[in-house]
Chains A and B, each alone.
Chain A
Amino acid sequence: MLNETRERQADAQSHLVASLMRGGSAPTGFDADDLSSTSRSLLSKRYRLVQNVWPIFEASLGERFHPLFDEYAREMPLPIEAQARQDACQFARWLMNRRQLPDLCHLVLLHAELRGIAQPRRGVSIRFAWLSERRRPAFGFKLPGCAPWVVPSS
């Protein structure tokens, strides 16, 4: 009995979350203005958290940061752990796939990947990247227990 109830309520919660996160139409019975405010609030909070952990985005992207992040957030859900650092890495990769990742952000992403922030890793890590603005490669590695070493450093 409770399982059926759970399924029914799970559907209702899923529709609501999809509406809030994807910007779809409001589920029946909800106040559309209230949901719209909530949706903007979620987006603003997500933006602010990423801005705090990676201020380099704003410094590098300038006025493009906010609209790009809005587009990203509508397209890409929060990583499962909903941590700002993972979200920042995901945003950086999204920019990279669109060839809009500034070199400085790319180097920060390289650092994050070597440190295992993007995904946990053990042992020796080696990473290469192509800096599209400078049109040159970057290289980094990390030994266990040591800080990452990246060339160029910035």
Chain B
Amino acid sequence: MAVVVEDAVVVVAISIRSRAASAPGERRAPAVKHNTILKGPTRTGVSWRPELALAIERWPHLGLVELMAESLDAKQPIPAAIEGLHQRGVPLIPHGTSLSLGSAEPPDPHRLDHLARIAERVHAPLVSEHLAFVRGGGLETGHLLPVASSREMLEIVVENVNMARAALPVPLALENISTLFQWPDPEMDEADFLNELLERTDSLLLLDLENVYANCRNFGGEPEAFLRKLPLEKVAYVHVAGGRDGKDGRYHDTHTTPIPQPVFDLVTWLSERIAIPGIILERDDYFPDQATLHAELNRIRAAVRPTGLSVEQAHAK
């Protein structure tokens, strides 16, 4: 059965801002002034999992796919199902979870090299990671933990992200995370931290709307007020997912349930303000059947209200 790809592949076009030349041997990608990497109408897709491979392949509107970078071996052939998506012209975005760019230590060169190699192998237009740390004192947590909102940590993370960008062949997008705790005595809020970090590192924003929703559920605040403070012109793409209410009274970002209506509402809210380049559905467990997955993806598409403006036009408005 022929499968229609909604949007043709576009040549990656990146606005280049003048900047100091990278050191010899560095793979640093050009700086990005505005996000123009994924062109055309909003692309919708899924974070690829073997359990969902067939359902993903069969969705006729597939416009974007995210790959878990750590689950791919840069020395082995790319799985045939993923290779097939590339042949269809679906942009593939490696998404890292272990760089730990929010660690007090510099990022591991081997992990950076792995992400760079995967990006090259799948011809990725960009890669993404989290504003988080995942290890400390020799212990792995297997989880994304928030960075202290202090000037000191900001300086460290700026240096870490600049080291990462120097090692990566394509632009880097950083994702806001959800958390169940906060560091004491914050010197700035998360939005200010993200704004300055993205500005000083020429990085893009992977905006996780469910994480925004989760943090507001657990710590208070209006998601829209938080979003208004972010540099929305730097949104490379968006994450959506569903979590669950825990017995501890907190909302847990589990990626195991259908997307809640408030997150769909945030998609609509955002799409009325910027031309969202892409939206990725994340599902990590309790995988739905094909019909359920397709229905959820169709709901995401329906939640987008295109402004008809480019990111630059919307931002300039």
Contacts and interface: CB of A to CB of B under 8 A. Distances in A.
Interface of A: 2, 5-10, 12-18, 20-21, 28-31, 33-35, 37-38, 40-42, 45-46, 48-49, 52, 77-83
Interface of B: 70, 98, 103-106, 133-143, 145, 148, 152-153, 155-156, 159, 179-185, 246, 248, 250, 252, 285
B180 A41 contact: yes
Given A29-B185, A78-B142, A9 B153 contact: yes
Nearest to A35: B181
Contact of B137 (A18, A40, A49, A79): A18
A73 B148 CA distance: 26
Given A6-B105, A40-B248, A42-B141, A82 B134 contact: yes
Given A5-B152, A77-B139, 9 more contacts: A5-B155, A10-B105, A10-B137, A28-B184, A29-B183, A33-B248, A42-B141, A48-B285, A80-B140
Q: Is chain A's binding surface mostly helix, strand, loop or mixed? A: helix
A17 B141 contact: yes
A34 B179 CA distance: 9
Contacts, number: 105
A7 B70 CA distance: 27
A6 B156 contact: yes
Given A10-B105, A18-B139, A30 B285 contact: no
A52 B140 contact: no
A31 B146 CA distance: 14
Given A6-B156, A29-B184, A13 B141 contact: no
26 contacts: A5-B155, A6-B106, A9-B104, A9-B152, A12-B148, A13-B133, A14-B136, A14-B137, A15-B137, A17-B137, A20-B141, A20-B145, A21-B139, A21-B141, A29-B183, A31-B181, A31-B182, A34-B182, A41-B246, A48-B285, A77-B138, A77-B139, A78-B140, A79-B140, A81-B140, A82-B142
A11 B298 CA distance: 47
Contacts of A45: 142-143
A151 B252 CA distance: 44
B179 to A, nearest CB: 8
A13 B143 CA distance: 14
A16 B152 contact: no
B180 A13 contact: no
Contacts of A82: 98, 134, 140-142
B141 A78 contact: yes
In the A-B complex, the 10 residue pairs with the closest CB atoms: A14-B137, A29-B184, A34-B181, A17-B136, A10-B104, A9-B104, A13-B136, A78-B140, A82-B140, A14-B136
